[in-house]
């Protein structure tokens, strides 16, 4: 079983590179497309024209599914850091390091799969779950990708790592770089990310630069920086990020007894995460760990919806960059790097792409909060989108649905407070939604400091 080797495969022209041969911007020198990591046991579904099983190259180097399941379960009882990581526990399927024992880990992954009985009940779905990736060490799903790609950077001998970010990638990168005693450079759109995210990058010691532009502008500047200085790019164009980000797919399947859900729904920003999860599910099916693949659906905010347009207007053949605007600042991206990967996974799995309004996002976030869970605004697009899909008959009552909640609620507490105080949405955005907003909003009360005042409130709150 040859598990130690991997190659980078261009998703456009099919060119293959050795691990050390990639350009600094992780684009193909021939066709400028992105790469993905492939292994001797990978199916070639990865290739651009690949059509799933018809080209599956099953050979005798393929890992054995029962042995893998047993080994992954056994590692749960281990105290070794890489076994305690929900990413490296599955290292057999991401053999990207020469020495996995030296992976830089904060014990990421192993996130909960919560049921959402209230939201499910309202939608008539019996099996609605939230995979809460906000329960990772720095509060977002980015940690699973960061442990993978930053470990590669360290193994390759880089001292500096860098990313442009809407706040979560930078928080994760800064933390993992600090653990690895590496230096990190963060480019952020000034005034367009939340304070908690900014505070993380500063506290973890990154060289934090706020640029007078948006995320897309930061990404542009960073590309030039990585071409001119020996810094290792850790944005999601880096295919190793996706190897870490595919592992929640393994966790979901394991938790559901190696069944897969019918739908997995993710928010779409720079558009890497849906394809990472899709890769995980496709690999599991190819290896015989599971028998099918869920439909992967991407939801975007109306003000930052280039993938939605691309699929609706051009069948995913091209994407027109836009100036993005949404209060879900994590996904305020108008020129997403991985749009072709997202198109491919949506089309390959039979999933959908939806857009949701600012009001729908805010309501969905409050609804998730009322399940006792909470998430950041970008994550709530998943529930908002699911509602539309149920109404359109694209998700059925008997189906199992997993929403991927990508960030922790405390990532953007201003948003939550503004919503409940009625200060988030404009009059125009509120129009027609008054009843639902009333139903979801929870205020606070300012009282005199005595028991009578509190008891009066309690009495008023107890239903007669």
Q: Where are the alpha helices (DSSP H) in 3-159?
A: 65-75, 81-84, 117-123, 142-155
As a whole number of Å, the CA-based R_g of the chain is 22
CB of 266 to ligand F0G, least distance (A): 7
Q: Which is nearer to ligand F0G, 273 or 349 (CB)?
A: 273
Q: Which is nearer to ligand F0G, 268 or 369 (CB)?
A: 268
d(CA 347, CA 343): 6
Q: Which is nearer to ligand F0G, 236 or 305 (CB)?
A: 236
Collapse the DSSP code of 167 into the 3-class scheme (helix H, G, I; strand E, B; otherwise coil) and give the result: coil
CB of 103 to ligand F0G, least distance (A): 21
d(CA 73, CA 90): 10
Collapse the DSSP code of 93 into the 3-class scheme (helix H, G, I; strand E, B; otherwise coil) and give the result: helix
CB of 34 to ligand F0G, least distance (A): 13
CB of 381 to ligand F0G, least distance (A): 8
Helices (H) and strands (E) in the chain — how many of each?
18, 13
Q: Which is nearer to ligand F0G, 27 or 100 (CB)?
A: 27
CA angle centred on 20, ends 14 and 24, rounded to 5° = 80
CB of 215 to ligand F0G, least distance (A): 7
Q: What residues contact residue 133 under an 8 Å CB cut-off, 6+ apart?
A: 111, 140, 141, 144, 248, 404, 405, 406, 407
Q: Where are the alpha helices (DSSP H) in 103-194?
A: 117-123, 142-155, 168-179
Q: Which is nearer to ligand F0G, 293 or 330 (CB)?
A: 330
Cβ pair 145, 175 in contact under 8 A: no
- Kindly report the number of other CB atoms within 10 A of residue 72's CB atom: 19
CB of 311 to ligand F0G, least distance (A): 14
CB of 300 to ligand F0G, least distance (A): 9
CA angle centred on 15, ends 34 and 244, rounded to 5° = 45
Residue ranges that bind ligand F0G, judged by CB under 6 A: 140, 142, 165-169, 236, 267-273, 330-331, 376, 378-379, 406-407
Q: Which is nearer to ligand F0G, 83 or 329 (CB)?
A: 329
CB of 239 to ligand F0G, least distance (A): 13
Q: Which is nearer to ligand F0G, 86 or 377 (CB)?
A: 377
Detail the DSSP E strand segments found in 245-352.
263-267, 295-301
Q: Nearest residue by C-beta to ligand F0G?
A: 269
Q: Which is nearer to ligand F0G, 151 or 273 (CB)?
A: 273
CA angle centred on 389, ends 387 and 401, rounded to 5° = 80
d(CA 321, CA 98): 38
């Amino acid at each position: 079983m040859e598990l130690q080797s991997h190659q980078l495969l261009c998703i456009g022209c099919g060119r293959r590179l050795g691990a050390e041969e990639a350009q600094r911007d992780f684009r193909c020198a021939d066709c400028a497309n992105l790469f993905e990591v492939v292994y001797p046991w990978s199916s070639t579904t990865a290739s651009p024209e690949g059509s799933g099983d018809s080209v599956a190259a099953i050979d005798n180097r393929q890992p054995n599914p029962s042995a893998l399941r047993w080994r992954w379960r056994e590692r749960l009882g281990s105290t070794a850091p890489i076994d305690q990581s929900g990413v490296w526990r599955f290292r057999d399927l991401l053999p990207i390091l020469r020495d996995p024992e030296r992976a830089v880990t904060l014990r990421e992954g192993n996130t909960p799969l919560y049921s959402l009985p209230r939201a499910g009940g309202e939608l008539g779905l019996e099996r609605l779950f939230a995979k809460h990736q906000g329960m990772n060490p720095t509060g977002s799903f980015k940690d699973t990708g960061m442990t993978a790609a930053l470990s590669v950077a360290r193994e390759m001998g880089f001292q500096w790592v860098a990313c442009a970010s809407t706040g979560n990638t930078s928080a994760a990168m800064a933390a993992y770089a600090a653990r690895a005693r590496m230096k990190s450079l963060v480019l952020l759109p000034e005034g367009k990310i939340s304070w908690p995210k900014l505070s993380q990058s500063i506290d973890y010691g990154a060289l934090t630069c706020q640029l007078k532009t948006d995320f897309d502008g930061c990404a542009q500047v960073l590309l030039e920086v990585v071409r001119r200085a020996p810094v290792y790019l850790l944005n999601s164009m880096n295919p190793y990020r996706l190897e870490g980000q595919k592992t929640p797919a393994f966790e979901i399947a394991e938790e559901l007894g190696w069944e897969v859900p019918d739908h997995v729904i993710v928010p779409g920003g720079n558009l890497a995460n849906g394809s990472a999860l899709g890769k995980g599910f496709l690999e599991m099916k190819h290896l015989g760990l599971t028998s099918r693949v869920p439909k992967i659906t991407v939801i975007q905010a109306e003000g930052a919806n280039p993938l939605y347009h691309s699929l609706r207007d051009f069948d995913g053949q091209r994407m027109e960059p836009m100036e993005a605007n949404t209060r879900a600042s994590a996904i305020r991206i108008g020129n997403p790097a991985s749009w072709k990967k997202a198109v491919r996974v949506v089309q390959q799995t039979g999933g959908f792409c939806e857009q949701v309004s600012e009001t729908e996002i805010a309501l969905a976030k409050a609804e998730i909060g009322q399940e006792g869970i909470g998430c950041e605004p970008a994550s709530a697009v998943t529930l908002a989108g699911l509602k539309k899909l149920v109404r359109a008959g694209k998700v059925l009552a008997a189906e199992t649905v997993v929403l991927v909640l990508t960030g922790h609620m405390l990532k953007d507490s201003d948003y939550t407070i503004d919503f409940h105080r009625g200060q988030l949405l404009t009059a125009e955005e509120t129009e027609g939604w008054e009843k639902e907003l009333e139903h979801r909003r929870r205020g606070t009360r300012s009282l005199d400091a005595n028991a009578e005042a509190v008891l009066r409130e309690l009495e008023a709150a107890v239903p007669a």
